[in-house]
């Protein structure tokens, strides 16, 4: 923030800005996973849809920052009929809320962290695998 931009004039990044942050995070995925990761559809919404929150028994929509919707690679079979593309959902408002609460991490880093966590579901990564890609706690 510059000296000429008062806090009351700041505007939260919109869906397009979040999409750009997610695309940048996806571009940073290491080579062994990059091509497969780029085949996943990334959807950015303000909140998870109500039906999804109900299915997951989540009462507060701010509790869900991201979601992987698909069949993990470790469970796929060549005999499976695709029901649709594997999708990672990122929910803007809960991510913004967590970002504001933390106050110690950049928004791009938080979006990347949520994206990597959801990619872990797709790839079937262990905690050690995740740590090699996203050492969040460092």
Positive or negative CA dihedral for 109, 110, 116, 120? Answer: positive
pLDDT reported for residue 1 = 47
Residue 49 CB partners (closer than 8 Å, separation 6+):
none
> How would you classify the pairing of strands 66-69 and 41-45?
unpaired
Report pTM. Answer: 0.83
Residue-wise pLDDT for 4-52, tens only, equals: 556 666 788 999 999 999 999 999 888 888 888 888 999 999 999 999 9
Q: Which domains does the chain have, with CATH numbers?
A: 12-69+85-133 (3.30.2010.20)
pLDDT reported for residue 91 = 98
């Amino acid at each position: 923030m510059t000296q000429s931009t008062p806090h009351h004039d700041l505007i939260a990044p919109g869906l397009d800005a979040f999409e750009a942050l997610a695309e940048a995070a996806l571009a940073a995925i290491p080579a062994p996973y990059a091509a497969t990761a780029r085949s996943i559809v990334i959807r950015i919404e303000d909140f998870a849809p109500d039906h999804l929150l109900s299915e997951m028994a989540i009462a507060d929509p701010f509790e869900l920052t991201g979601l992987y919707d698909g069949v993990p690679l470790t469970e796929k079979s060549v005999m499976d009929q695709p029901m649709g593309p594997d999708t990672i959902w990122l929910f803007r408002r809960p991510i913004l809320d967590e970002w504001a609460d933390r106050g110690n991490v950049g928004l791009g880093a938080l979006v990347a962290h949520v994206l990597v966590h959801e990619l872990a579901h797709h790839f079937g990564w262990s905690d050690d695998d995740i740590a090699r890609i996203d050492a969040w706690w460092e």
